[in-house]
Amino acid sequence: MGKIIRRILLGLFIVLVLAVAGGYLYITRALPSAGETPTLSVDATPGHIERGRYLAHHVYACMSCHSDQQHQLFAHPTDPSGFGKGGRVWDEKDGLPGKVVAPNLTPFHLGEWTDGEIFHAITAGISRDGRALFPLMPYPAYGKADKEDILDIIAYLRSLPPIPNEVPLTELSFPMSLIVNMIPKQPAFSQRPDPSDKVAFGGYLAAVASCNDCHTPMVKGRYDETRRFAGGNPFPLGHGDVVRSANLTPHESGLKHWTEASFIAAFRKYSDSAYVHPEIAPGEFNTVMPWNEYSAMSDAELSALWAYLQTLPPVENPVQKFSAGGGQ
């Protein structure tokens, strides 16, 4: 009797070992997988490059992550001396599982890549060497964007002056180093909605401009889809200071008392030529929201964002936007 049980246990143990080993091999060898790297080429006419510049700076805000930031100034404006040079680091201090580094997007790094390889990295999250990208790079949203937007952005990246800046590779800690391989997915592109359909257009912009990523509460590493745009996500600013994303739903504790005009004005403030970003000392209110970059969005875009936010279910979530020196 004891012998039989031992055999069964041994059998089960072997099955378990094989399943774990198989799972490990699958995750490390077969994944990431998100379809073939597409063969395509961008149309690098001045019109497409200019549209790509506008999108990369002011809507998708690629440049705010892939350039240095002026940390001493309010809202950390992008340092104009090195657009796309890469090197920004996010790590455990920001609540991340490891050290995540934004690569150089100028031809110094991407010069040898094909347009299809750049496109695949942006929309499927798989780098040229087959590495899965950590989704701080918003590829899950970009894989649902309009291909034309991405192609124009690539045309712009190609036009940047090469900036010699070797950037170290991202290093994720275990188990994220394995889990990250399961995140890239085959893109499911959409069509940019017609601006006359304000709500649909605003929803598209809220996704590709990462508003959703910062403003939808994250619980245990997942977005709480039942409380979309209810805010409250903490962003450490150093020195123990913490800023939290605002509630953008039309609730009393959100934007209920805002108007379309006050919403647009909140952005426009930073594009006013008379506005000077004040220097901010540790312990004073600062934010990670790239106000400066978004402030150049068109009236039609800001108005569509407002129209979209108004359609959200109101969610009660009073947010203390800032606390100094380690307070939660």
Q: Which residues bind ligand HEC (CB under 6 A)?
A: 56, 60-62, 65-66, 100, 102-103, 105, 118, 121-122, 127, 133-134, 136-138, 142, 153, 170, 209-211, 214-215, 235, 243-246, 248, 266, 287-289, 294, 305, 321
CA distance 222 to 237: 22
Q: Residue 45 CB, nearest distance to ligand HEC (Å)? A: 19
Q: Residue 23 CB, nearest distance to ligand HEC (Å)? A: 22
Class of residue 126 by CB neighbours under 10 A (exposed 0-12, middle 13-18, buried 19+): buried
Q: Residue 275 CB, nearest distance to ligand HEC (Å)? A: 15
Which CB sits closer to ligand HEC, 46 or 111? 111
Cis peptide before 135, with omega less than 30 degrees from 0?
no
Which CB sits closer to ligand HEC, 245 or 303? 245
Cβ contact 85:106 at 8 Å: yes
Q: Exposure string (b/e) for 209-230, b if CB count within 10 Å is 16 or more?
A: bbbbbbbbbeeeeeeeeebbbb
Which CB sits closer to ligand HEC, 13 or 242? 242
CA distance 58 to 297: 6
Q: Residue 11 CB, nearest distance to ligand HEC (Å)? A: 40
Q: Angle at CA 312, nearest 5°, toward 310 and 314?
A: 95
Which CB sits closer to ligand HEC, 13 or 239? 239
Q: Residue 128 CB, nearest distance to ligand HEC (Å)? A: 6
Q: Residue 66 CB, nearest distance to ligand HEC (Å)? A: 6
Which CB sits closer to ligand HEC, 137 or 200? 137
Which CB sits closer to ligand HEC, 11 or 257? 257
Q: Among 241, 260, 235, 261, which residue's Cα sits nearest to residue 250?
A: 260
Cβ contact 286:241 at 8 Å: yes
